[in-house]
Amino acid sequence: MSDTHAQTVAFARDTMIEPQDPPLTESGIFKWVRENMFSGWLNILLTVVSLYVIWWALSHVLPWAINGIWNAGSLNECRQIRDATLGPDASAACWAVIAERWPQLIFGFYPPELYWRPILAFVVFLLAVMPVLFPELPRKTMWLSLAAPFVVFWLIWGGSIWGAVSVALGFAVGWAAFTFVGRLAGALVGTIAALLLPVVYWLFLDLPVKSALDAIVPIALTPVETNDIGGFMLALIIGIAGITLSLPLGILLALGRQSNMLIINKTCVFFIEVIRGVPLIVWLFTASLLLNYFLPPGTNFDLMLRVIIMVTLFASAYIAEVVRGGLAALPRGQYEAADALGLDYWKSMRLIILPQALKISIPGIVNTFIGLFKDTTLVVFIGLLDPIGLTNSIRATTEWNGIYWELFVFIGLLFFAFCFTMGQYSLYLERKLRREHR
């Protein structure tokens, strides 16, 4: 090639090529489908089989659900309407049982004229839990979170408002004992006083204080028996109480299992292993049948309270192991850093160790909560009317004898809504903590 020709040809581009869109197969949904569903012969086969199974299921379920009958007084009436409108061989759900019996599935045998009370209690609970779940909210609203358990109890069970106030005063006595006795005699003595003084108050002063306040300002709601509480409301009460109480207890058990103090360590190990080694249904039967044998004669210990105690203990054992896994995952340097800062045991746990361990343990903790909430259906075996138990009562009537799927689909959707919400909050919390620690 001559020198003249070499000098006329540029060796580098002096203009930029106009930007162009990527090929259709390399962007958007087409790229995702190609990479995840048709990337190889095995993926193609699994995709085809999966699509067929989904089509087969939807082709049977959707007509059954969409063609459902909502206005009928019995299963036989549902069938007559189906035969007249869709034909005798048509697939149609009898949603009329849900339209007629949904209050019973939600509230059990709670008096219908008092439905506003559990609804208001649920609203109070949602308002109280918001500052706990979302720290961005004003911290002043935490007072509502502290008062909510007593307000919810009074709204659901009724009776004198001073009963709930008197119980709350017992916790206030414990807090005051921990604060003032702890300052004077140390944290250990303050903790012991915070545990003992409320018990003394509830045993000897609770009833006189309640009676005196009730005589001065009588404020009461119509009492409702525990036997009238059932349905999904029962599952919510047991599930929420178990979740709320088991988390702090599980954290204490996890710390106790890692303690260097022999008695505390072995006690926590024994408790965790015994509780985890026995099925929940056995503990529920224990709460129902055997717990009264250990109480003074004539003591009437509410069955739902016994169930809540057993469910709380059962869940706390599992949470303890989840939190212990989070503690074990932390590098040893974090403990050494806390010691280097001169922090005592409780401050190092509260400020450095536990925040990181709980962050690691979030998926396991939420998974335990979801399992606990679903396990509330086991109370049907000890006589409490949870949603599953109420389906048996509904199907035992002459109007709805023989109906199955509609009731269980409705109950399943209710449980799915709450469990899915807990799972989504877990993902939100993980993303939030990941962003904050970048």
pLDDT digits (tens, 9 = 90+) for 311-339: 999 999 999 999 999 988 888 888 888 88
The reply to whether 172 and 52 lie within a common domain is no
The verdict on 277 and 386 lying in the same domain is yes
pLDDT digits (tens, 9 = 90+) for 146-203: 888 899 999 999 888 888 888 888 888 888 888 887 777 776 677 788 888 888 888 8
Helix crossing, 116-133 with 142-157: angle to 10°? 160
With a pLDDT cut of 90, the percent of the chain lying above it is 29
The residue with greater pLDDT, 206 or 140, is 206
Q: Establish if 388 belongs to a structural domain.
A: yes
Please, are residues 272 and 317 in contact by the beta-carbon 8 Å criterion? yes
Q: Which residues of 122-139 are buried (b: 16+ CB within 10 A; e: fewer)?
A: bebbeebeebeeeeeeee
Helix/strand/coil (H/E/C) assignment for every residue in the chain: CCHHHHHHCCCCCCCCCCCCCCCHHHCHHHHHHHHHCCCCHHHHHHHHHHHHHHHHHHHHHHHHHHCCECCCCCHHHHHHHHHHHCCCCCCCCECHHHHHHHHHHHHECCCHHHCHHHHHHHHHHHHHHHHHHCCCCCHHHHHHHHHHHHHHHHHHHCEEHHHHHHHHHHHHHHHHHHHHHHHHHCHHHHHHHHHHHHHHHHHHCHHHHHHHHHHHCCCEECCCCHHHECHHHHHHHHHHHHHHHHHHHHHHHHHHHCCCCHHHHHHHHHHHHHHHCCCHHHHHHHHHHHHHHHCCCCCCCCHHHHHHHHHHHHHHHHHHHHHHHHHHHCCHHHHHHHHHCCCCHHHHHHHHHHHHHHHHHHHHHHHHHHHHHHHHHHHHHHCCCCHHHHHHHHHCCCCCCCCCHHHHHHHHHHHHHHHHHHHHHHHHHHHHHHHHCC
Tell which residue, 229, 240, 235, 236, has the closest CA to residue 104: 229
Residue 381: pLDDT band (50, 70, 90) is confident
Is 248 part of a structural domain of the chain?
yes
Same domain membership, residue 243 and residue 175 = no
Q: Is 193 a member of any domain?
A: yes
| Same-domain pairing of 290 and 329 | yes
Give the domain CATH number at 283. Answer: 1.10.3720.10
352: in domain: yes
31, part of any domain? yes
Average pLDDT over residues 282-309: 78
Confidence of residue 103 (pLDDT cuts 50, 70, 90): very high
Residue 145 belongs to some domain of the structure: no
As a whole number of angstroms, the distance between CA 211 and CA 218 comes to 10
Q: State pTM to two decimals.
A: 0.84
**What is the pLDDT of the chain when averaged over all its residues?**
85
Structural domain containing residue 190: 159-221
> When comparing pLDDT for 123 and 289, which is higher?
123
